[in-house]
A and B are shown apart, each in its own frame.
Chain A
Amino acid sequence: MSTVEEVVAQDPVVARPPRLLARMMRQPQAKLGMVLTLVVMFLALAGPLLTPWLTGHTSTEFTGRPFTDIGIFGTDNLGRDVFSRFLDGGLRLIVYAALATALGMVVGVAVGMTAAYSGGRVDALIMRGNDVLLALPQLVFALLAITVLGPQGWVLVVVIGITHAPRIARVTRSATAAVITEDYIRASEMYAVPKWKILLTEVLPNITGPLMVELGLRMTYSIGFVAALSFLGLGMQPPTADWGLMINESRIALVVQPWGVLLPVAAIAVLTVGTNLLTDSLARASADMNVGNKK
């Protein structure tokens, strides 16, 4: 379950998912998604450990001239072993994506629930602020931020997290809005349960469905986003071995030496498809679960 659980683990707010996850895993496409995700996850996590002895080279040493087919998958633009770099290049991508997603979720959920619950001016204010952030496309935002602050890891995480937040906030808000009309919220109001407690104990458990779906979705996007930034040369910096960066460095020679591009592209594709399959089945699961609740 690594993705989901790992991701869930990062997200303190998702309280009691087991039933949901159980329903999710019942679907074949969830199983497929799990397999795909796990495969890439394994590659990414174990890769760094495997590199030297599996390929005989570290990800930075030189094995020949650039863009030759020395080694299993040839060499890259600096004559380094493509396969070694590939094995070494997934970890950061995934970690950064996960962190960014977690950040976005925490901020977004907090903001969204507050907005929906307090309503009125606060709500309006927060949501307008949201719209402002949303009016700058994520990439433009990232471009600006990264050129201002430089392409350090934390900048990536924060930028992506921040750009996710308003989108997550929207979802959270509407989910919350749907829940707070329910009488059990009014009931706890009646018993003067503190507002924060209402949000945490009454509202949150009832929006985990949409939230986890959003979580999966954002995770998928984050992966693509981190990779895309590296691909634009604004993400990971050389000589780091990173899938996005590999694509950026090797694409000029796609004809001569396609592996430098195709391996990472394939990995990213499989990973995102995997996570998205999981997310999708999660969505279905939570959907028919809510049906269950409504009787």
Chain B
Amino acid sequence: MTTNTMDHDSVASALCATDVRVQTDAGVEILHGVSFTLQPGRILALVGESGSGKTTAGLACMGHFRQGLAKGTGTVHLGDGEMGNILELPAAQLRGLRGKTISYVPQDPALSLNPSMRIGEQITETLRVHRVGATDAERRLRVTEVLAEVGLANDPAYQRRYPHQLSGGQQQRVGIAMAFACRPSVIVLDEPTTGLDVTTQAVVLRTIDELAARHQVAGLYITHDLAVVAEIADEVAVMLEGDIVEHGATDQVLFAPQHSYTRRLLAAVPDLAGKRRVGQVEAITGEQPLIVPGPHGIPDSTSTTPLVDDAKLLPGTMPRTTPADTAAETTPLLRLRDLSLSYGQHKVLDGIDFQLREGESMMLLGESGSGKTTLSRCVAGLNDAYTGSIELFGEQLATGTRSRSSEDRRRIQYVFQSPFSSLNPRRTIAESVGVPLQMSGINDKHRRRMLVLEALDQVRLGERFMDRRPGDLSGGERQRAAIARALVNAPSLLVCDEITSALDVSVQASILDLLRTLQTDHNMSMLFVTHNIALARHISQRLAVLQKGKIVDFGTTDDVLNNPQHSYTQELLANVPAFD
């Protein structure tokens, strides 16, 4: 069943997909008959977490099915549909449509642009195969034109560049230019802004928006980021496990969600204002699925989810109660003095000074390349190339972890960004989590196992995970295990490096929840490194904004967010997508 609030007869739809089903070669159905309509000049956002089948649905519109998938059934009609059902078109005709009438903007331009072809040529190729423009000269004109449209330089020199000579944002805009080159009527955008920093994201989104409007192109925007949806989409379709569980106008879906999943999803999205109580929700995908999806969509079990209980207040929203000020005079837990690090003449870190008090959580905000990860690794002793000093409880730490005392090592723990790489696939969770204990001299196997079990309980994994291998765990579970490894030795400072960036929002929410609980229960200090400013109010009392190796803004989270001092911070705040 599909909920559909639009009636497509009123407007001439640009694309109309009905009951599209896709199976794997193995015969497992992963898309259970989705239907939607795209209107010229309007953008439909297809939202869902990983594995919800949104990309499959998107590609199905182009009659393309990735390896391991069988050809889909159902109907996809373009415009007036005189072309017939795309899913049944012979290859030749299909090819005629692709890139011409319906075009695609890939998720990762770095992979999707041919690294050994000049970008100009790649765009021209599209035009050539679709015989747009009689001569190469005309085509070259079109290329310069479309490059300009997406706001790139369009001089011949630029066109002669190779993809690797462009920044991520530029690459993505080339991708978009390629998609618009033949003036298509439909365009499928597959998470085009993931991996771009907020500022660039904003630019790209704007480009898409206006191009779609100007050329009356119908857009299918595939994303997991509800905030982005709010920015760009006219309609939203929420997908879960191969079904569209909710479909409607953007405002309606975002602000008056019908389906419980949508609600939980929304609840999980961190917001800058920090109004929403992220983390009260259970994680959805991967971990404990809410509802068992039947072949015919999800019964809309609108059971009431536990709503905000105001009793439990966020740390940071009430500075008074935090140990932050009470411990003001005592020596800080961590103090960085003029921390600098440079590779060759390239300064990665440039005179970092800050201190972190016991029980306090600080967010280290910065975009890729700002040096935030380097900084956190210096603190953890993983990077010993720095100058300046790091003090723990007043005494200076040796640079490298190997030269630090095992006590110091115990006190500072570090959680890595990717849970898929931070656990040895060949060792059981118990083994991995046990390592820190082993190294701090706890050789009694039994005792070790007990402690490990404790830690696993803290992160809500429990005994049954002990002897599993990472391969059998979901991303969230792995990240919990990784956290457990950091906790097992009862550290006084936990350094978290982008630990939620690889996870779905709902999982992220549960992890945030976990961290917060730990912090409040164990009065543990935390250095939370992220690029996602929206998380600020949800995790930290203090906020340090890092740009090009310098701390440009620093203070309590509220202060910084409410009146940012530095232009960079202001720009960030201006660009961060949000819906309220």
Contacts and interface: CB of A to CB of B under 8 A. Distances in A.
Q: Do chains A and B touch in the complex (CB under 8 A)?
A: yes
Contacts of A201: 427
A206 B426 contact: yes
A193 interface: yes
Interface string A81-96: 0000000000000000
A188 B416 CA distance: 12
Contacts of A294: 420
Contact of A16 (B417, B420, B426): B426
A61 interface: no
Contact of B425 (A186, A187, A188, A206): A206
Contact of A206 (B402, B418, B424): B424
A187 B439 contact: no
B470 A293 contact: yes
B401 A187 contact: no
Given A184-B421, A294-B420, A205 B426 contact: yes
Interface size class, chain B:
20 to 34
A192 B422 contact: no
A95 B41 CA distance: 75
B471 A292 contact: yes
Given A190-B380, A190-B414, A205-B427, A184 B422 contact: yes
A6 interface: no
B33 to A, nearest CB: 28
B471 A184 contact: no
B424 A295 contact: no
B376 to A, nearest CB: 12
Nearest to A206: B426
A192 B432 contact: no
A131 interface: no
Q: How large is the interface on A (under 10, 10 to 19, 20 to 34, 35 or more residues)?
A: 20 to 34
A205 B401 contact: no
A190 B383 CA distance: 10
Contacts of B538: none
B485 A187 contact: yes
B424 A202 contact: yes
B471 A187 contact: no
A182, A184, A294, A295 — most chain B CB neighbours (10 Å): A184
B287 to A, nearest CB: 15
Interface string A103-128: 00000000000000000000000000
A16 B416 CA distance: 27
Contacts of B110: none
Interface in A167-191: 182-184, 186-191
Interface in B45-78: none
Contacts of A182: 421-422, 424
Contacts of A202: 424, 427
Nearest to B473: A295
Interface in B331-368: none
Contacts of A190: 380-382, 401, 409, 414
Interface string B379-408: 011100000000000000000011010100
Contacts of B147: none
Contacts of B40: none
Contacts of A183: 416-418, 421-422
Given A192-B406, A205-B427, A187 B435 contact: yes
A188 to B, nearest CB: 6
Contacts of B439: 191-193
Contacts of A16: 426
Contacts of A186: 382, 416
Nearest to B469: A293
A205 B423 CA distance: 13
Interface in B269-323: none
Contact of B435 (A191, A292, A293, A295): A191
B436 interface: yes
Nearest to B435: A191
Interface string B461-476: 0000000001100010
Contacts of B416: 183, 186-187
B481 to A, nearest CB: 11
A92 B485 CA distance: 51
A202 B421 CA distance: 12
Interface in A274-295: 292-295
A292 B416 CA distance: 21
Nearest to A203: B424
Given A183-B418, A184-B422, A206-B425, A193 B435 contact: yes
Closest 8 CB pairs of A and B: A205-B426, A183-B422, A293-B425, A183-B416, A191-B439, A184-B424, A183-B421, A182-B421
15 contacts: A182-B424, A183-B418, A187-B485, A189-B402, A190-B381, A191-B438, A192-B402, A192-B406, A192-B409, A193-B439, A201-B427, A202-B424, A202-B427, A205-B424, A292-B471
Interface of A: 16, 182-184, 186-193, 201-202, 205-206, 292-295
